[in-house]
Amino acid sequence: MTMQAPIAGGLPRSAAEAGITDRFRYFRGRSGRRYLFTRIEPEAVGDYERALIVLTQDRGEGERIIWVDPRAARNAVPVPAAVLAQADAVYVHLLATRAEERRRIAADIDRARIALGRAA
């Protein structure tokens, strides 16, 4: 059975219309909510200490989440280098300003990833 990754929310329509399809993604949580993420360069991860980080991989079957920041309030804890090296893309969620909200979103997305058989 083919499973959809939790990014089923896809691209924001405005990003697609502007031709910047590689910059923004919606990730869908187990709750069905969509969360807007911005793609960043892997070396910039350290610049987003208080943001939610998601790593994805695409091996020809579509983009799938391989890691969701388990702390969601990063406090300068680095993304594991071995996991970062496996990622094809790194995304950051900047709209959640409180640590509690980031943790809730991270848990929602991670529950979707696990439910879809995408556990790393």
List the domain range (segments joined by +) for residue 32.
13-115
Q: How far apart are CA 79 and CA 28, in angstroms?
A: 22
Q: Is residue 5 part of a domain?
A: no
Q: How far apart are CA 93 and CA 105, in angstroms?
A: 9
pLDDT at 2: 34
Q: Is residue 67 part of a domain?
A: yes
Q: Is residue 8 part of a domain?
A: no
Tell me the pTM. Answer: 0.79
Q: How many structural domains is the chain composed of?
A: 1
Q: Is residue 92 part of a domain?
A: yes
Q: Outline where DSSP puts E strands in the chain.
A: 24-28, 34-40, 52-58, 63-68, 89-93
Average pLDDT, the chain: 79
Q: Is residue 98 part of a domain?
A: yes
pLDDT at 11: 58
Q: Is residue 120 part of a domain?
A: no
Q: Is residue 2 part of a domain?
A: no
pLDDT at 23: 81
Both tokens of 29, joined, read: 């949580």
Assess whether pLDDT exceeds 60 at residue 31. yes
Assess whether pLDDT exceeds 50 at residue 5. no
Q: Is residue 7 part of a domain?
A: no
Question: Using one digit for the tens of pLDDT, what is the confidence trace for 37-93?
Answer: 999 999 998 888 888 999 998 888 778 888 888 766 555 567 888 889 999 999 999
